[in-house]
Amino acid sequence: MLNLNQLRAFYHTARRLNVTRAARDLCITQPAVTAQIKAFEAGTELKFFRKRGRRMHLTSEGRTVYEYAVQLFEIEQKIENAIEEMRALKRGVLRVGTTKTYARYFMPSLISSFHQSYPHIKITLDEGSSLDMIHSLLEFENEVAVVAQASEDPRIAFVPFSREELVVILPPGHRLAGGRAVAFRELAGEPFIMKETGSGTRKVVNDLFRRHGFSPNVLMETGNNEFIKQLVSRGEGVSILVRACVALELDRGQLATASLSGNPPLLDVSLARLRDQPLSPPARAFDDMLAQLYTRDAPPRDIGSLMARILAGQSVNQAQGPTPARGGRPKG
């Protein structure tokens, strides 16, 4: 078995052809270097140095070993450089998951802001239902995820991030569209186009039906928001989606909406991560960036408000340059 301490003493001595200088390089005593070399030669049953007067010379065996030692310690230096770059966020990978809604309407601004601060970090963005993304954390496929809390799991920490209003969407001219508040029983009889099982929106809508004592008349279910909006606009059914993802169609009159009696349904979105696992430096920096948008004493904001804060932060970052990562957010 190769002893790296002995090899290191040999390498520095062979490079300098001087034990005193090798000892200075290694910050150890000259006798310690000599002892390491003797042990190395004894263990290999080879002679690596010969002396003529005060001058040292490498044997042919010593030259062969030295050539390999040079390669080994060059790789060691590259490893040390890579470690330092990863610690300084000049290298690394951020693996983040999110829902399809956030992937389209929010993450581009967030990822752009992160990339401005940490341009050397590679980002992989995974998207799916909230439940899918929670499972991806448990499988170590992602480190952090921006999701709705679609399930309870003691292994996952959820930190409140935003609160999105869910709105009933209807085809233009639908009998329930308009200014009056609609009783839930009026909506319950409509054919519903539902988000897929595992999405946070689906969980809120199911809870809403259950709370009012109805079962949804499910026409179909899909994870594609655009498909849902097209079907609703054609009069195939009604749905409930996050306001931010239907705002444009509502403004254009391609969709209509109805107000439900009582408080509007809300979707709580959180930053999720494994509770008992440390974050990598890139994930810790991402967590810290979201912490700047999160205020413990204020209610969570919606996508639009958060995007405005991100854009404002990007302007500041462009003026000040990259900032180092700070401590993590409060644990959930």
Instruction: Tell me, yes or no, whether 80 and 35 share the same domain.
Output: yes
In percent, the amount of the chain with pLDDT more than 90 equals: 64
Instruction: Tell me, yes or no, whether 127 and 202 share the same domain.
Output: no
Q: Is residue 332 part of a domain?
A: no
Instruction: Tell me, yes or no, whether 56 and 11 share the same domain.
Output: yes
Domain count, the chain: 3
> Which residue has 């480190």 as its token pair?
143
Residue 329 scores a pLDDT above 50: no
Q: DSSP assignment of 230-248, as one string?
A: HHHHTTS-BEEEEGGGTHH
Q: Is residue 250 part of a domain?
A: yes
Residue 131 scores a pLDDT above 70: yes
Domain stops at, among 226, 243, 267:
267
Q: Is residue 120 part of a domain?
A: yes
Q: State the average pLDDT for the chain.
A: 88
In a 10 Å sphere around its CB, with 0-12 CB exposed, 13-18 middle and 19+ buried, how is residue 203 labelled?
Answer: buried
Instruction: Tell me, yes or no, whether 258 and 290 share the same domain.
Output: no
Going by pLDDT thresholds of 50, 70 and 90, the confidence category of residue 330 is very low
Q: Is residue 329 part of a domain?
A: no
Residue 299 scores a pLDDT above 90: no
Contact of 251 with 84, CB cutoff 8 Å? no
Instruction: Tell me, yes or no, whether 79 and 67 share the same domain.
Output: yes
CATH at 53:
1.10.10.10
Instruction: Tell me, yes or no, whether 20 and 75 share the same domain.
Output: yes
Instruction: Tell me, yes or no, whether 208 and 62 share the same domain.
Output: no
Position 269 scores a pLDDT of: 87
Residue 239 scores a pLDDT above 60: yes
Residue 332 scores a pLDDT above 50: no
Instruction: Tell me, yes or no, whether 102 and 58 share the same domain.
Output: no
Instruction: Tell me, yes or no, whether 172 and 308 share the same domain.
Output: no
Going by pLDDT thresholds of 50, 70 and 90, the confidence category of residue 324 is very low
Position 320 scores a pLDDT of: 55
Going by pLDDT thresholds of 50, 70 and 90, the confidence category of residue 228 is very high
Residue 192, Cβ neighbours under 10 Å: how many?
19
Instruction: Tell me, yes or no, whether 112 and 190 share the same domain.
Output: no
Q: What is the dihedral of CA 59, 64, 66, 68, to 10 degrees?
A: -170
Domain stops at, among 61, 87, 113:
87
Tokens of 259: 């107000």
Q: Is residue 175 part of a domain?
A: yes
Task: Say which range, 95-99, 130-134, 260-264, 292-296, has the weakest mean pLDDT.
Answer: 292-296
Position 272 scores a pLDDT of: 94
Q: Is residue 43 part of a domain?
A: yes
Position 34 scores a pLDDT of: 96
Please report, as a single letter, which amino acid is at residue 325.
A
Q: What does the pLDDT average to over 110-129?
A: 92
Domain stops at, among 48, 64, 87:
87
Tell me the C-alpha distance between 60 and 281, whole Å: 46
Q: Which structural domain range is residue 58 located in?
A: 4-87
Q: What ranges make up the beta strands (E) of the chain?
A: 49-52, 55-58, 93-98, 122-127, 144-148, 156-170, 181-182, 191-195, 217-222, 239-242, 256-260, 266-274
Instruction: Tell me, yes or no, whether 147 and 275 share the same domain.
Output: yes
Instruction: Tell me, yes or no, whether 295 and 153 share the same domain.
Output: yes
Distance separating the N- and C-terminal Cα atoms of the chain: 48
Position 284 scores a pLDDT of: 95
Q: Is residue 325 part of a domain?
A: no
Residue 280 scores a pLDDT above 80: yes
Q: What does the pLDDT average to over 120-128?
A: 95
CATH at 100:
3.40.190.10
Residue 136 scores a pLDDT above 50: yes
Q: Is residue 187 part of a domain?
A: yes
